[in-house]
Amino acid sequence: MLGIIKLFHIIFSSIWFSSAFFTPKDLRNTLEKGFPHTELLKTRVESTQKINVMAGLLTFVTGMGLIFASGGFKAVPVSIHISLLLTLGVVVMDLAVLNGIWQKIDEIINKNEDLEPAKKLAKKYSMFLGIEHSLRTIILILMVLKPF
């Protein structure tokens, strides 16, 4: 059973790690092209965000399954505890910060006005997604190396 949970944990974490990798570039390039290219942007970004959040949550759930299948919190290294908290933090950042920035970009696009404010927000979106990717990398290192 532990092997099956671990397999799904690796699959979900791989999806979570890679799902939004190209979103910032797509966002910036599409906003640079302007209308009518922005019409399909909403579908792409929102689909990616859904996949990203679901994969993050499933990574968290399968991680909890691994912890309990291994004997509980006392049986796993502290680095796993830290990774668990960081995972929750990244998912919350995705839901609160990135989703909020995207909603503002979407409002600007829907108004069919100047896209300059949306381009500035796209840079902010990229920055926060970069922070998320850095945190995911730290999580991966903590999970694999288990330094403490």
- What pLDDT, in 10s, does the model give residues 53-86? 999 999 999 999 999 999 999 999 999 999 999 9
What spatial distance separates the first Cα and last Cα of the chain, rounded to whole Å? Answer: 26
Cβ contacts of 57 within 8 Å, gap of 6 or more: 91
Model confidence at 1, pLDDT cuts 50, 70, 90, reads confident
Task: Name 144's Cβ contacts closer than 8 Å, sequence gap at least 6.
Answer: none
Radius of gyration in angstroms for the set of CA atoms belonging to the chain, rounded to a whole number: 18
Residues 102-125: what's their mean pLDDT? 94
Alpha helices in the chain (DSSP H): 2-18, 23-33, 41-69, 78-93, 99-110, 116-145
| Token pair recorded at residue 33 | 């092209």
What does the pLDDT average to over 116-136?
Answer: 95
